[in-house]
Amino acid sequence: MTAPTRRERMRAATLDEIKQTARQLLIDEGPAAISLRAIAREMGMTAPALYRYFTSHEALLDGLCGDLKDELIGELAQARDAVPPDQVGARLQAACRAFRGWAIAHPAEFSLMFASARREVPESALCVDGMPASPGHEAAQRFGGVFLDLIVDLWHSRHFPVIEADVFPPELRRQLERFLQSVGLSVPVGVAYVFLSGWVRLYGLVALEVFGHLDFAVGDVEPLFDAEIRAMAAQLNLTFDI
């Protein structure tokens, strides 16, 4: 592999500084503060100069979300891999806990990644000079893959109960089949449903906690989180030692 040139290294460093500056603005002032003009001011650049790196505000947000998801993926993988490979259930538990821990520690970043309604970024609007078409979307696929791989591993090791394909409404079944085909998996559609319903449950609980929407009922969410993890484990014929 050819080593990057000095110009390429400088460009990569500037791209990283732009995204790190955007992240700090997000943390300090909220998502509305992220603008190319504000970033340029913080970096001592002109706003037009930033368009050599990102062609739009949407492209910048997509690139930042891609980096944040990569960071989160690393946290999940580290927690998962700290558990022996043959303990798939414990690996899944560790990943779920790591997701909650990262979200609580980074509420602003969590909000940008998972609670912001942003339109799909067209390829023509994304970072120039041969950068990935949609780093945020690609990272999201890798992020989901951490949990999907664990669910599939569990299916192969213990065949937890799933809904038969013909029980699903036809349109839902077709979508689940398309999803499995897109990720190259040959498992029952019920496995895909278990993965998606588990993700909805995990994300929903974590999001409610991060945004303070459970304060009306529980001041300490961790026991509720543990109970929900146990409930998901029962669906998978697992017993989590929490």
For residues 60 and 174, what is the distance between their CA atoms, to the nearest angstrom? Answer: 34
Question: Does domain 1-53 sit in CATH 1.10.260?
Answer: no
Which residue's entry shows tokens 């505000």?
57
CATH fit for domain 70-235, picks 2.60.40.1180, 3.40.50.300, 1.10.357.10, 3.40.50.10490:
1.10.357.10
- Cβ–Cβ under 8 Å, residues 154 and 88: yes
From first to last of its 242 residues, the chain has per-residue pLDDT tens of: 678 888 889 999 999 999 999 999 999 999 999 999 999 999 999 888 888 899 898 999 999 998 999 999 999 999 999 999 989 889 999 999 999 999 999 999 999 998 765 544 444 444 444 344 455 456 667 888 899 999 999 999 888 889 999 999 999 999 999 999 999 999 999 999 999 999 999 999 999 999 999 999 999 999 999 999 988 888 888 765 54
Paired tokens of 229? 């993890």
Q: What is the pLDDT of residue 166?
A: 95
- Cβ–Cβ under 8 Å, residues 180 and 189: yes
Q: What is the pLDDT of residue 3?
A: 81
Q: Where are the domains of the chain?
A: 1-53, 70-235
CB atoms within 10 A of CB 84: 9
Q: What is the pLDDT of residue 128?
A: 41
Q: Which amino acid is at 33?
A: A
Q: What is the pLDDT of residue 153?
A: 92
Q: What is the pLDDT of residue 68?
A: 94
- Cβ–Cβ under 8 Å, residues 199 and 193: no
CA 213 to chain centre: 21
Q: What is the pLDDT of residue 240?
A: 59
Paired tokens of 178? 């398309």
